[in-house]
Amino acid sequence: MKVLSFGSLNFDYVYNTNHFVLPKETIIANDYHENFGGKGLNQSIALAKAGMEVYHAGRVGKDGQSFFDYLNEYNVNTKYLYKDENVRTGHAIIEVNEGQNRIICYGGGNQKIDHKQIDEVLANFEKGDILLVQNEISSMSYLINKAHEMGMKIAFNCAPITKEILTYPLEYIDIFIVNEVEAKGISECDSDNIDDIIKALQERYQNKEIVLTVGEQGSYYICGDVIKHQEAFKVNVVDTTAAGDTFTGYFLASYMNEHDVDKALLLASKASSITVQGMGAAKSIPFYKDLI
């Protein structure tokens, strides 16, 4: 069984501020960092740091050579990462204030994933292999359809949530990984109450496995009538960037290897509680040895 993470890669430009900038306002940041990020890259790194062998597919521009080196440093295979001379690498402007963040993404190469690249990459995988995707690349419906046709198992972290998500062939997703906003989006639930959201997910996605993260209220695994809950670890939050990505990577790594939901939820919660204690995305994701 091979694991393919097909997703975004961004240069993260991170500004630490005293408050989030308001309309008509100009503010001076307290400090500034440049990091490697993108939900796809972060999740590939999380899988690799959790001990999985992972292939990352995506697209960077001619300014993106450093992504190959960075992923390789963590043993992520970059055989299917394309360098496209005609595009710029994606980037994200991230404001961080009191642990919370606001993110604007420029798609760049992430939005140039086309059918040709998908066909070329998937030709190297087979029935039973795992595909992990998020919602930061183009040609999502084609990718899901193709992977399903081949018999790959598909995990979808529905981030960021968009209206288009509901037009994707979601019936082919095996595991959804969502936070409460994404859960409301994919179930078209209007309520903010967690019980209502879980009910809406159960009704709409009856035979699917769903992992729902709710920040300080912990995380849930939902499959039909089965609901499991994991408390969140109480820690000093510095920056929540990539907390969800860490959770996704660690949950999948553990669940794929041991098929034990309780253990996977515990490990993923622990890992993301470490990520939020450091600034930055991929670089604050812990190694497996730091969790035991």
Interacting residues toward ligand RIB by CB under 6 A: 8, 10, 12, 37-39, 42, 92, 103, 105, 136, 241-242, 244-245, 281
Residue with tokens 């990577």, as numbered in its chain? 249
Alpha-helical (H) ranges within 8-55 are 39-49
Q: Give the residue with the Cβ less far from ligand RIB, 106 or 172.
A: 106
CB of 107 to ligand RIB, least distance (A): 10
CB of 281 to ligand RIB, least distance (A): 4
Q: Give the residue with the Cβ less far from ligand RIB, 198 or 242.
A: 242
Short-list 177, 45, 57, 72, CA closest to 112: 57
Q: Give the residue with the Cβ less far from ligand RIB, 12 or 129.
A: 12
Terminal-residue alpha carbon distance, the chain: 26
CB of 8 to ligand RIB, least distance (A): 6
> Which residues make Cβ contacts (< 8 Å) with residue 171, sequence separation at least 6?
none
CB of 275 to ligand RIB, least distance (A): 10
> Which residues make Cβ contacts (< 8 Å) with residue 23, sequence separation at least 6?
none
CB of 243 to ligand RIB, least distance (A): 8
CB of 137 to ligand RIB, least distance (A): 11
CB of 110 to ligand RIB, least distance (A): 9
Q: Is the peptide bond before 160 cis (omega within 30 degrees of 0)?
A: yes
CA dihedral defined by 110, 56, 82, 87, rounded to 10 degrees?
20
Alpha-carbon distance of 259 to 193, in angstroms, equals 29
Q: Give the residue with the Cβ less far from ligand RIB, 38 or 58.
A: 38
Q: Give the residue with the Cβ less far from ligand RIB, 36 or 221.
A: 36
Q: Quick check: 45 and 23 in contact, CB under 8 A?
A: no
Alpha-carbon distance of 142 to 6, in angstroms, equals 13
Q: Where are the beta strands (DSSP E) in the chain?
A: 3-6, 10-16, 31-37, 54-61, 76-77, 81-84, 90-97, 100-106, 130-133, 153-157, 175-179, 209-213, 219-223, 226-230
Closest CB to ligand RIB: residue number: 37
Q: Give the residue with the Cβ less far from ligand RIB, 13 or 68.
A: 13
Q: Give the residue with the Cβ less far from ligand RIB, 48 or 261.
A: 48
